[in-house]
A and B are shown apart, each in its own frame.
Chain A
Amino acid sequence: NAGVTQTPKFQVLKTGQSMTLQCAQDMNHEYMSWYRQDPGMGLRLIHYSVGAGITDQGEVPNGYNVSRSTTEDFPLRLLSAAPSQTSVYFCASSYYGTGGNYGYTFGSGTRLTVV
């Protein structure tokens, strides 16, 4: 039972490059989301999805795209990397409507550096 798997764990990009951060969960969770963690800022919501085919923007969506073609996968795409996107990215999932009681399950994170 892998839970939430994020790949890669580390990545260095040059400004202007694009890449996709992968997130997969094997718990059949409907709800998935992406957060970024920056020093002194806590975790901030980038995008979320309440089910396959449905996505919506969070607090800091600019520069990121998402899609949800299957229940299991929720990739995050950086269109044109900027140094301001240097951060640690976390993917999270939960059963629909249960996040308040049972919390979200988080992946171990992807540390991204944009130079």
Chain B
Amino acid sequence: DQQVKQNSPSLSVQEGRISILNCDYTNSMFDYFLWYKKYPAEGPTFLISISSIKDKNEDGRFTVFLNKSAKHLSLHIVPSQPGDSAVYFCAAMERWNFGNEKLTFGTGTRLTIIP
């Protein structure tokens, strides 16, 4: 049962254009959503997050949009740069009781920026 889904395994975008990565989820108990970036042979690096009470969060070239009614979020990268080529993971956090939390990851989207 995949609670966090990234349906596009790969995406190619021209340098300077907008990259849009999509993510869908099924669990209504998620209260934070995060995006991670991963280069080969390295651990994931946190990019940006959004609380479930917001619909947009922006940090420089990166903006995350959340549509709770559709259980959908997206990451926009503008403008796309060659260094953005990596695998991007969408993740969702569920918290319960006092201190228990679980981060569920999607399967990732490989973004390639074409110079």
Contact surface of A with B, Cβ cutoff 8 Å: 4, 31, 33, 35, 40-45, 48, 50-51, 56, 58-59, 90, 92, 96-97, 99-109
- Residues in B neighbouring A43, C-beta threshold 8 A: 44, 89, 91, 105
Bin the interface of chain B by size.
20 to 34
B43 within 8 A of A: yes
Given contacts A42-B108, A50-B100, contact A104 B46 (CB under 8 A): yes
Within 8 A of A (CB), among B1-22: 4
B60 within 8 A of A: no
Q: Is the CB of A100 within 8 A of B107?
A: no
A21 to B91, CA, bound (A): 24
- Residues in B neighbouring A101, C-beta threshold 8 A: 32, 49, 51
- Residues in A neighbouring B49, C-beta threshold 8 A: 100-103
A99 to B9, CA, bound (A): 26
A11 to B103, CA, bound (A): 26
A51 to B100, CA, bound (A): 11
- Residues in B neighbouring A59, C-beta threshold 8 A: 102, 104
Q: Is the CB of A103 within 8 A of B95?
A: no
Q: Is the CB of B43 within 8 A of A100?
A: no
Please pick, from B43, B47, B93, B104, the residue contacting A99 in the complex, using a CB distance under 8 A: B93
A108 to B38, CA, bound (A): 10
Please pick, from A100, A102, A106, the residue contacting B45 in the complex, using a CB distance under 8 A: A106
Q: Most chain-A CB neighbours within 10 Å: which of B43, B46, B105?
A: B43
Which 7 pairs across A and B sit closest by C-beta, in order of nearness? Answer: A103-B46, A100-B32, A106-B43, A42-B105, A43-B105, A50-B99, A42-B107
Of chain A, the residue at the smallest CB distance from B9 is A40
Q: Is the CB of A106 within 8 A of B44?
A: yes
Question: What 0/1 readout, one digit per residue, does chain B (88-114) give for beta carbons within 8 Å of chain A?
Answer: 010101010001111111111000000
